[in-house]
Amino acid sequence: MSQDDHAAALALAGEAADALRSATGADDIHAALVLGSGWVPAADAVGRTVAEIPVTDLPGFAPPAVAGHAGRIRVVSTASGRNVLIFLGRTHLYEGLGVGPVVHGVRTAIAAGAGTIVLTNAAGGLRPETQRVGDPVLISDHINLTGANPITGARFVDLTEVYSRRLRELARAAEPSLAEGVYVAFRGPTYETPAEIRMCRAFGGDLVGMSTALEAIAAREGGAEVLGLSLVTNPGAGLTGEPLDHQEVLAVGRATAARMGELLATVVDKL
C-alpha cells in the first residue's frame, strides 16, 4: 500500500463513518468493540440495541467470509447511557483482500468518534499448564508475525504500550481473576504447526491467533486506546495431541457466551 493508498483508506473510513451516522442516527460513539470468532453471542449483554445494519451498507466493508462472524454492525446504549459500536465479526488478512479492509472497521469507528477500541478474538492457548479452555485472557502485548502492517510511509507510531495499561486495570477491577498474556498473530488460514507453537512459547508468546494485531496498530495510529481480550478456545497445536477444528472454536464461544457478555458489559460500562 502506497502513501496515497493509505490516505485514500483513511478518507474511505471517514465516508463510512458519515454513512454510519446517517444509517443509525448515532453521532456520539464513545467506544467500539470488534467481536471475534465465538464472541458474537456475547453481544446481547453489552447494552440496549439502538440500531443494527449489515456491514455492506457502509462503504469499504466486505461481506463476512468466516463462520461465526455475523457481518453486521450494531449500536448499543450501555447502562451509563453511552453509545458503543459493535462489529459482529471482522475481515481477516487470510481472506486475500489486503490490509486495508482488515483495519477498515477500526478506522471507521475512530472516524465516528470512538476513543477506545476493544478487540476480542478466539485464540489458541500456549500455556495449557495455567490456561483452561473457555478462559478470557487480557492481551498485554503482541508479536506480529503476519508479515503486514497497516501503516505506510514515514509515520513512526510508538508501540511501547499498544494495549492500554489503564484499560487493563479497569478490566481486572471488573474481573480480578483475569490473566494477561502476549498474543502472537499469524496470517492464517492454516493453524500453526507444533514446531511453530514451540517457537512461540520459546520467545514469550502465551496466545496465538489470526487477527487483532493489525487492528491494534491501526487504532494506535488513530489515537485510540486499545483493550485486547482473547478467549482460549483450544490448546495450541501439538500441546495435547488433538487436532484443531474451527467448529470447536465456535462451540466454546457458545458455551461461554453468558460469561463473556457479562465481562464485556461490565468493562465497557467503565470505559
Q: Looking at 6, 32, 45, 92, which residue is catalytic?
A: 92
Q: Looking at 95, 180, 248, 262, which residue is catalytic?
A: 95
Does the active-site annotation cover 92?
Answer: yes
Q: Looking at 51, 94, 180, 251, which residue is catalytic?
A: 94
Query: How many C-beta neighbours within 10 Å does residue 135 have?
Result: 18
Cα–Cα separations (whole angstroms), residue 37 to 125, 153, 225: 15, 32, 22
Q: Looking at 83, 121, 144, 234, which residue is catalytic?
A: 234
Q: Looking at 13, 37, 183, 265, which residue is catalytic?
A: 37
Q: Looking at 109, 210, 237, 260, which residue is catalytic?
A: 210
Query: With contact defined as beta carbons under 8 Å apart, do 142 and 123 qualify?
Result: no
Q: Which of 156, 122, 151 is nearest to 139 (CA)?
A: 122
Does the active-site annotation cover 80?
Answer: no
Does the active-site annotation cover 210?
Answer: yes
Does the active-site annotation cover 95?
Answer: yes
Q: Which of 221, 222, 248 is nearest to 234 (CA)?
A: 248
Does the active-site annotation cover 175?
Answer: no
Quote the CA–CA distance of 94 and 192 in Å, as a whole number. 14
Q: Looking at 6, 69, 104, 142, which residue is catalytic?
A: 69
Does the active-site annotation cover 163?
Answer: no
Does the active-site annotation cover 260?
Answer: no
Per-residue cell: 182: 502476549
Q: Looking at 121, 144, 211, 230, which residue is catalytic?
A: 211
Does the active-site annotation cover 234?
Answer: yes
Q: Looking at 111, 112, 122, 237, which residue is catalytic?
A: 122
Q: Which residues are catalytic?
A: 37, 69, 92, 94-95, 122, 210-211, 234, 246
